[in-house]
Amino acid sequence: GTPKLAEVSPNEGHHDGTPETHVPPLGLESLRVLDTQLRASSHKRHGLGAHRGRLNIRYGLYDGDFYDGGWCAGREDTEQWLEVDARRLTRFTGVVTQGLNSIWTYDWVTSYKVQVSNDTHTWLPSRNGPRDAGADLLPVPLVGRFLRINPQSWFPNGTICLRAEILVPTPGTPPPPRSHLDFRHNYKEMRKLMKRVSEECPDITRVYSIGQSSRGLRLYVMEISDNPGQHEVGEPEFRYVLLLNLMEFLCREFRLGNPRVVQLVTDTRIHLLPLHEPRRLRDRYKTGKIGISGIDLNHNLRRPEHGLWDARMDNDLVPH
C-alpha cells in the first residue's frame, strides 16, 4: 500500500501536518512558494483564495473574519482544482492535504486526483489513480512544472476546501542504479530491447513498423513523445537512425526527472529507427564487424528510394 506520512482528523483537519518521513516539501507552508505561484479554478471569496491553500495555515480569529484557514472552491463539482507553479521542471513525489481550519464550519476533501503540466494547457493525469485525502507518497513520481490537485469527493455536508503541501525528492538522494548499456546487439536482441524499453516507459513510447527491408526483415521504429501516436500541430518531429541505446537513455532519464530529457520528450516527437538493413547488421554481428570500433554504419546506408527524398534533393521541393 501507499506509505502514510501523517494522519488527518476527518472532522477537523487541525493536526500539525509534520511528515513522518524525510521527504521534503516544496514550500507552501514555509511561504517559499509565493502567493503568485498559486492559482485555483474558483474560490468563495478572496479570503478563501488559492493563496490560503497552504498546509497548517490558521483560521480567522473572529466570526466573519475575511481570511479563513484554507482554499475553498466557489463551485461544488469535480472540475475544481488548486494549482502550484514550481517555476521549473520538478519531480513531484507526494501530496499532503488537510481540511479547512475553521472554528465555524467543517469542510474537507476526502479524495482527489493529481495532474502535471509544463505549460498549463496540456495536462498529464497521474497513473496512480485517485488519492485518499491525507498525506501520501505517489507510487509513481510525476515530472512537470505545474501540479494540480483536483478534488473528487468531499464531506457530504460541507464543500470543497483544503490546505496542501507538495513533496519533492530529498536533496542528495542518489538516483536508481542504471544497468550497463551494451553497444553490441543482433536483430533478435534489438527487438527484445525495444520491447523492454516500451514496457518500462509505456506512457511515452510506441513501437511501430515502416515495412520490410530488401532482405525481408521487418523495420521497427520506436516513437518517444508525451503523446505517442498523436500528431500535434506545431510540435517538431525527428527521426534518428542507428541510435539503439538512445531509447534506453531517454526512457530512464525521463523516469528520473532529468529536466532536459523531460522537455525534449514533451516538446518534440522522436522516432528512433535502430536499423536500416537488419540482415546486414545480423551478418556483421556474426563476423564480429560491428560495435563501437566496428564498421561506420552512419556512412554505409543505401540511398533511400523515395519520391520525397528526390524532391528534397531537387531544389528542396517537397510535395504537400
**pLDDT one-digit tens code per residue, 122-180:** 888 776 566 666 667 887 788 889 999 999 999 888 899 999 999 998 655 555 554 45
The single residue listed with the C-alpha cell 475553521 is 102
Geometric angle at alpha carbon 92, from 178 and 32, rounded to 5°: 130
Cα–Cα distance between 110 and 161 in angstroms, integer? 10
pTM above threshold 0.85: no
| Strands (DSSP E) found in the chain | 38-40, 71-72, 82-98, 109-117, 123-125, 131-132, 135-154, 161-167, 205-212, 218-224, 237-241, 269-273
pLDDT at res. 4: 29
Are residues 107 and 158 in contact, defined by beta-carbon separation less than 8 angstroms? yes
Which three three-digit cell numbers place residue 67? 481570511
pLDDT at res. 156: 87
Residue 217: Cβ-neighbour burial (10 angstroms; 0-12, 13-18, 19+): middle
Greatest mean pLDDT range, 113-117, 177-181, 275-279: 113-117
Which three three-digit cell numbers place residue 226? 508525451
pLDDT at res. 216: 78
pLDDT at res. 63: 56
pLDDT at res. 50: 94
Pair type for strands 237-241 and 269-273: parallel
Cα–Cα distance between 96 and 124 in angstroms, integer? 20
The mean predicted confidence, pLDDT, of the chain is 75
pLDDT band, residue 60 (cuts 50/70/90): low
Least confident segment among 72-81, 112-121, 171-180, 215-224: 171-180
Query: Looking at per-residue confidence, does 151 or 311 come out higher?
Result: 151
Are residues 77 and 54 in contact, defined by beta-carbon separation less than 8 angstroms? no
Which three three-digit cell numbers place residue 43? 474560490
